[in-house]
Amino acid sequence: MSEITDTLETTLENPVSGIDQSSGNFKYDMTYDFDAGTGLNERTVDYISSVKKEAPWIHDFRQSALKTFFAKPLPTHWATRDLENINFDKIRYYLSQGQKPKRTWAEVPEDIKRTFERLGIPEQERKFLAGVEAQFDSEAAYSNIKEAVSKQGVIFMNSTEALREHPEIFRKYFGKVIPTGDNKFSALNSAVFSGGSFIYVPPGVKVSHPLQAYFRINAENFGQFERTLIICDEGSELTYMEGCTAPKFSTATLHSAVVELVALKGAKIQYITVQNWSSNVFNLVTKRGLAHEEAEIKWIDCNIGSRLTMKYPGVVLKGRKSRGEVISIALANDGQHQDTGAKMVHAADETTSTVVSKSISVGQGRATYRGVVHIPKNLKGCKNNTECDALLINTNSRTDTYPAITVRGDRHAVQHEASVSKVSAEQIFYMQQRGLTEGQAMSLSVNGFINDLARQFPMEYSVELKRLIDLEMEGSVG
Amino acid sequence: MAETASDRPVVAAALGGFTPDVFARHLESAPSWWHERKRAAYSRFEALPMPGRTDESWRFSNLSGIRIDGFTPDAAPPAGTAAASAAFSLAAPPMLTFVNGRLASRGELPAHLAAKGVVVSTLSEAAARSPELLREHFMAQPQKLGSAKFAALHEAFIADGAFVHVPRGVEVDMPIVLIHSASGAGTAVFPHTLIIAEDNSKVTVVDHFHSNDTLGQFACGANDLYAGHGARITYAAAQCWSLETLSFQFNSTVVRRDARVQSLNLHLGARQARHESLSQLQAPGGFSEMLALTVASGAREFDQRTLQIHQAPNTKSDLLYKNVLLDRSRTIFSGLIIVDPDAQKTDAYQSNRNLMLSEDAESNSLPGLEIQANDVRCTHGATSSPIDADQAFYLKSRGIPEKAANELLIFGFFEEVLCRLENEELHAALRDLVRTRLGR
Amino acid sequence: MSSLEIKNLHVSTGDKEIVKGVTLTINSGEIHAVMGPNGTGKSTMAKAIAGHPDYVITQGDVLIDGKSILEKESDERAREGIFLAFQYPSEIPGVSIANFMRAALQARMAEGEEIDASAYYKRLYQKMDLLKIDRKFTSRSVNEGFSGGEKKRSEILQMALLEPKFALMDETDSGLDIDALRIVSDGVNSLRGPNLGILLITHYQRLLSYIVPDHVHVMIEGRIVKSGDKSLALELESRGYDWVKQELATA
């Protein structure tokens, strides 16, 4: 307690309000070699805002979000009660840059080390991913990318930098696609966010290579409360990738990101995520895109690991003829619950949305699909097609499907289909008869199940994904 | 009323017109064997809250339309009440006709069926003759779909109901027709049908819910279907309440080993109707086929909630719910298939099809699955779409005018459900009801 | 030169004994046809030899070159050289034939050894040409949406690639029209040679006019009741199985 009190006093002596922080150099007589402590109150938020030298409007935004967070109940009337096991008072909401993690390589569990090895993760990255080192020095690669795209006028920086240096671009959309009060966890993120990427692509610019958060791994970026905002101006195109297939070993139990995408007229955004959290993590993420006229937003989302993931990437189809798509792969192993899905809100004529979701439940794992398709009145020519397939590996693996589809009017076509299947004993025997081991046969079947979706990932991701599934399937049979 | 409200505002709102005074008067007219159960049910009704906004089992429902005040249970029917509609005709005469919950007339059961021990009687008669059957089957299954409160209300205020018992190995060769009629403004009725088909028996039962009025009424009905080992029940319900009625109907179906139950619910009446249907597949080889057809017009709301629970291996369920939406109507279909951990080799299907015929109509589909066994075949699907333009064009290209082509397609949409009925006469009778309702 | 010895084999499924003591030796280069009415245990025997988990061998032994294979898992048996051409091959969505066979060949290589991709494809295409299989076939999922004839050709293609010592061909002619039967038979005949022993299970003689066996055995009610050369097949075709049954009864 006393630690926090000290922090708070320091913060109060350095009020953020009244200082123009949008220009010039800032110098505070503050030491950052401590973090914000555990627990959450107004002063924690003051502290974060102060450390980041934020403009008053952001500070106000955070404080008001905090009120919303406290006011909102947990969504347990529809979501799992496991959420009640999150102890918000035990969580560290901000870790400053210089903070050294206390774990040593020797303390990293053997199975995690083995997985790194099997996946061929470079030595240095392993230490970062295991939380032994706070920084993975890929700044050089990142700078190159940043420089290359900045020639095209693309802005690619972290949230703190971007809000400070380009409020004229980012303020307009920040918190607009996903309002603070969208849900309890978006409110939490709005109060304590740090890290994440802010990107602006000017009109007509087509970014040829995917931009990757991977180039900028550091403690903040892989932090608990990332905030990402991508704006693609008229006619521009961008592919963004986040995460990697390596398991992220984390002592933090709550990760809650907010990702907002804005595709202006005719723009195309493809957002690819591969996440593999360690199985102590609550991963509660809000992702939504706003598609203007003839724009296209596509979420490709792969969730592996975590104790509980709740994530329903959405697209608000605001402009005529805009398109939204969610491609989702989830793998739930023992003790894991993947509660994922999609949200498609049609708000203009002739808008089209597609959802394809495939989940795999292994052992006692549980995969849940939850979807919303909403077509309100006075629209015409909207289409949605949703397909959910679940594969159950073991006798008591579990899958649930909970879609909610509202259609108003007689000029739309909406279709939802779901199926549940298993890897049949006959199939396994057939492959064993050709000389594959039971485990190999199982991996082949599971990879076959997601094959058509995995192909949509960039090559290196889909190769890693396949390897990862092989690993996850080991020991699942028998 | 205002005074009570200020004393116990929440409770009073939750009881509507069914206050303790009203209940006490109802008990005076109810047979004494029933009092204890009814008191317990009334306490449950009092204790349970009205459905709330965050209640998942009432998602999308128009809660403000559920006002249960101002209705009168046990109302005497006005003189000259006609008990049935001419639109619904089957050769078999109705076995039992209830008006405002009480037996008004009865048909004679053919001698050969009576001789085999088939019983078609009122619940009161059954209570005297076979109380053990009533204890075992009457409202004995859990209320899992959100209306525990209203099911308790049903049990508290039910005046009488139909009891159909088919002994082991007996096949009933004619449909047993039961009519439940409501008459008079503000009348509340609580119809009930209990069907027990013992092992290897076979029976077809038709419930016709009916009102000739255009008045606001309240119907809160329930039925219990029990199919013993190898038994076969075909159950059809034609809901033709007044177009101003608030209707609740709770169905429970229990399917034992190798038994098969087919149920078809036709929803044509009511201002706002909530229908809950629970099928429990309790033993291997059981099969439940759940069918429904709804014609939604005006500003009506049809809210259908279903649950298929597979509790044993090698069971099958097949659900097909179709809605035709006109005007500013709304439909809600919320279905769930649950496969218990050991119910391997389950074969479950669930399908909701909405035919959208108006710009202002709204369909809501919540087709759900909860699967805890891996060796299963489960699929579900939901669609909402207008008349298929290609199909309409194909018909028109053969010289059929647009209006006729559309009608053909609308009836084609219905036929897919109706043709599942094996009984041709019943099929035709239900089809006629739909045609009349659509005014075509 | 290898041998597959089946010694006094008894096989049960559930509580029911299906195969009741079959003894048979197949040497490399030989084709043995096992004929018999439906439900006499022919397919059961083949599946049991391949190690299908639904079938339990209650007595007897199966040996390759004198070594029992019964303690081995089905995939190990496959790598020892047993190939079962299924009567009803499984469909495996999303897994292409090319990837499937590559994985199967990889499983036969020593640890650390990698398959030579270009040589593999060359060989794959060569075998496909032989079986008159379209190149596009390789990218289709294993058996998914295949016609009866395509499924059987896919089985023979796999056999050609995996080069087993012994092939157990279970009702390979079922579901084939005359043209498909000819193509499949040509494929089998092309694989015939001194390094391959074949056990051909069939109900009808018609397959045997395309694939001519060295030995013919009649199986009835779980036992081999009569053996002979290819002329026995013709005799069965003209006189039916009742004749053998009657002979058994009088014996």
Which portions of chain C are predicted below pLDDT 50? none
Residue A217's φ and ψ, nearest 5 degrees, are -70, 125
- The residue type found at A208 is S
Confidence of residue B393 (pLDDT cuts 50, 70, 90): confident
Please write the tens of the pLDDT for every residue from B429-440.
999 999 888 875
What DSSP assignment string belongs to C199-225?
EEEESSSGGGGTS--SEEEEEETTEEE
d(CA A14, CA A29): 9
Any chains having at least 3 CB pairs less than 8 A from chain B are A
Confidence of residue B87 (pLDDT cuts 50, 70, 90): low
Query: What sign does the CA torsion over C143, A469, A388, A227 have?
Result: negative
The answer on pLDDT for A135 being more than 80 is no
More confident residue, A386 or A244: A386
pLDDT of residue A29: 32
Q: With an 8 Å Cβ cutoff, is A81 touching chain C? A: no
Number of cross-chain residue pairs from A and C with Cβ atoms under 8 Å apart: 80
More confident residue, B395 or A40: A40
Both ends of chain B: CA-CA distance in Å?
Answer: 46
**Percent of chain B scored above 70 by pLDDT?**
95
Number of domains in chain C: 1
**Cβ within 8 Å, pair B361-A408:** yes
Residue C127 is assigned to a structural domain of this protein? no
User: Of A339, A344, A393, A408, which to mutate for an interface test with B (greatest number of B Cβ within 10 Å)?
Assistant: A408
b/e burial code for range A202-235 (CB count within 10 A of at least 16 → b): beebebeeebbbbbbbbbbbbbbbbbbbbbbbbb
Asked whether A354 and A385 are in contact (CB, 8 A), the reply is yes
CB atoms within 10 A of CB A124: 12
What DSSP assignment string belongs to A268-329?
EEEEEEEEEE-TT-EEEEEEEEEE-TT-EEEEEEEEEE-SEEEE--EEEE-STT-EEEEEEE
Residue with tokens 């420089």: A147
Q: With an 8 Å Cβ cutoff, is A452 touching chain C? A: yes
Residue C82: closest CA among chain A residues belongs to which residue? A433
**Choice among A199-213, B226-240, B341-355 with the minimum mean pLDDT:** A199-213
Report which listed range, A63-67, A212-216, C48-52, C117-121, is most confident: A63-67
Q: With an 8 Å Cβ cutoff, is A432 touching chain C? A: yes
CB atoms within 10 A of CB A150: 12
**Choice among A149-163, A291-305, B125-139, B303-317 with the minimum mean pLDDT:** A149-163
Q: Collapse the DSSP code of A250 into the 3-class scheme (helix H, G, I; strand E, B; otherwise coil) and give the result.
A: coil
Q: Which of A350, A477, A353, A390 is nearest to A425 (CA)?
A: A477
Confidence of residue A120 (pLDDT cuts 50, 70, 90): low
The answer on pLDDT for A124 being more than 80 is no
Report the CATH number at residue C35.
3.40.50.300
Q: Map out the domains of chain A as residue ranges.
A: 2-105, 110-424, 425-478
Residue C86 is assigned to a structural domain of this protein? yes
More confident residue, A210 or A11: A210
**Percent of chain A scored above 90 by pLDDT?**
54
User: Of A430, A450, A477, which to mutate for an interface test with C (greatest number of C Cβ within 10 Å)?
Assistant: A430
The pLDDT of A9-16, averaged and rounded, is 32
**Cβ within 8 Å, pair A435-C84:** no
User: Of A329, A422, A432, which to mutate for an interface test with C (greatest number of C Cβ within 10 Å)?
Assistant: A432
d(CA B26, CA B20): 10
Q: Collapse the DSSP code of C165 into the 3-class scheme (helix H, G, I; strand E, B; otherwise coil) and give the result.
A: coil
pLDDT of residue B89: 77
Residue B17 to residues A132, B14, C239, Cα–Cα distance (Å) = 68, 9, 86
Residue A354 to residues A315, A326, A457, B356, Cα–Cα distance (Å) = 10, 6, 17, 21
Q: Map out the domains of chain B as residue ranges.
A: 2-283, 387-440
Chain C contact set for A438 (CB, 8 A): 73, 75
Residue B358 to residues A291, A377, B152, B439, Cα–Cα distance (Å) = 28, 11, 37, 16
Confidence of residue A116 (pLDDT cuts 50, 70, 90): low
pLDDT of residue A142: 58
Q: Give the structural domain span for C34.
A: 3-90+165-250
Is the interface score ipTM higher than 0.90? no
Q: With an 8 Å Cβ cutoff, is C89 touching chain A? A: yes
d(CA B210, CA C17): 61
Asked whether B254 and B282 are in contact (CB, 8 A), the reply is yes
Contact partners, residue C122, CB within 8 Å, separation at least 6: none
CB atoms within 10 A of CB B70: 12
**Percent of chain B scored above 90 by pLDDT?**
78
**Cβ within 8 Å, pair B375-A395:** yes
Please write the tens of the pLDDT for every residue from B186-226.
999 999 999 999 999 999 999 999 998 888 999 999 999 99
Q: Collapse the DSSP code of A280 into the 3-class scheme (helix H, G, I; strand E, B; otherwise coil) and give the result.
A: coil
Chain A contact set for B362 (CB, 8 A): 377, 406-409
pLDDT of residue A127: 65
Based on its alpha-carbon atoms, the radius of gyration of chain A, rounded to whole angstroms, reads 22
Residue C121 is assigned to a structural domain of this protein? no
The answer on pLDDT for A42 being more than 80 is yes
d(CA B170, CA B200): 7
pLDDT of residue C60: 96
Which of A426, A437, A452 faces C107 most closely, judged by CB atoms? A437
pTM of the model: 0.82
Please write the tens of the pLDDT for every residue from C224-248.
999 999 999 888 888 888 888 888 8
The answer on pLDDT for A140 being more than 70 is no
Confidence of residue B171 (pLDDT cuts 50, 70, 90): very high
d(CA C204, CA B168): 48
